[in-house]
Amino acid sequence: MGVLKDLIRYDRRFLMGFVLCILVFLTFPISLFSPYDQAARRVVPPNLAPSWEYPLGTNALGQDIAWNLVFALRNSLIIGLLAAVLSRVMATLIGLISGYLGGLTDRIVSTITDSFIVIPRLPILVFLSFVMRGRLGTIGIALLLAFLDWAWPSKRYRSQVLSLREREFTETALFSGMSTFSVVTREHLPFLVPYIMADVISGFLWAMGMEITLSVLGLTSLSIPTIGTMIYWANYYQAMLRGTWWWIGPPVVASIATVIALYLLSVSLSEFLDPRTRLKRIKTRAETS
């Protein structure tokens, strides 16, 4: 909590990103009060401009765009969170095991990891989504994205563990009788937590971007509202050509706001974790006090 207070107090970028994230994540509780089901259609008059009754208007599918956006943003956030968390859990486990054990285990794991790094992820995502077209729901997309996004962070965590393995406190822990599992989880993992936290944000941004890409191409379950499927249906019914800007505008603005919020948090956390900037902050505080 002390770190959070310092970031909010001294870093305006973090404060702005934090406030935007709170507004974005409010879609979770708000969606519980929706008068419509997330997949419901023909529940309101179609193609109405924004008004007091329908603040963001309605679309050609007979949906209230405001409530549709709430569901879409919520589902996109769920996909991003699941994909980012699952991929970083995989990356952390593999990085810890590979970096600490070394030897043959490290060579085998590194070979597999390098194979995942060099393969082009977007073509594979498009191919797999095409094969499972229409059957990729929220959980399916998240699992697919997580499966293809663990390799790069795993290499970074492995390099950290390789350095930690040579430290004196590791030898002290081994001599004290701690098991390999205890050394890795109690001594090494805490050093990785700040980097994992910052890395989850980048994974979240990548997952959201890939979900939007796949949905706009029509390769996901189009009955589930997400930011990508909202844009898909708006393009399908030619919202821009018909002048119904209120259909395609909200998901685009929402996705941009989410990206900006997460980017600000990522930059702020990266600088906060950098030892050089940390020393500057300590020096500045000492001078001001």
* DSSP of the chain: -HHHHHHHHH-HHHHHHHHHHHHHHTHHHHHTT-SS-TT--SSS-SSPPP-SSSTT-B-TTS-BHHHHHHHHHHHHHHHHHHHHHHHHHHHHHHHHHHHHH-HHHHHHHHHHHHHHHHS-HHHHHHHHHHHTTT---HHHHHHHHHHTSSHHHHHHHHHHHHHHHTSHHHHHHHHTT--HHHIIIIIIHHHHHHHHHHHHHHHHHHHHHHHHHHHHTT-S-TTS--HHHHHHHHHHTTHHHHT-HHHHHHHHHHHHHHHHHHHHHHHHHHHHH-HHHHHHHHHHHHHH-
pLDDT for 66 equals 94
Distance CA 63, CA 40 (A): 7
- Which domains does the chain carry? 2-44+61-288 (1.10.3720.10)
DSSP line for 94-135: HHHHHHHH-HHHHHHHHHHHHHHHHS-HHHHHHHHHHHTTT-
**Which amino acid, 217?**
L
What contacts 167, CB < 8 A, 6 or more positions away?
A: none
pLDDT for 178 equals 76
Mean pLDDT by 10 residues, the chain (289 residues): 66 84 90 90 92 92 94 94 93 88 86 88 88 81 91 88 80 75 79 81 90 90 91 91 89 91 82 62 54
Distance CA 178, CA 170 (A): 10
**Which amino acid, 98?**
S
**Which amino acid, 71?**
F
pLDDT for 233 equals 94
Whole-model pTM?
Answer: 0.86
pLDDT for 129 equals 85
- The residues with which 64 forms a beta bridge, in sequence order, are 58
Distance CA 19, CA 35 (A): 27
Distance CA 279, CA 275 (A): 6
pLDDT for 30 equals 92
pLDDT for 274 equals 62
Q: Which two tokens stand for residue 255?
A: 């996705």
pLDDT for 211 equals 92
pLDDT for 58 equals 93
Distance CA 89, CA 81 (A): 12
Q: Which two tokens stand for residue 137?
A: 């729901």
What contacts 96, CB < 8 A, 6 or more positions away?
A: 157, 161, 184, 188, 189, 192
**Which amino acid, 253?**
V
Distance CA 26, CA 152 (A): 31
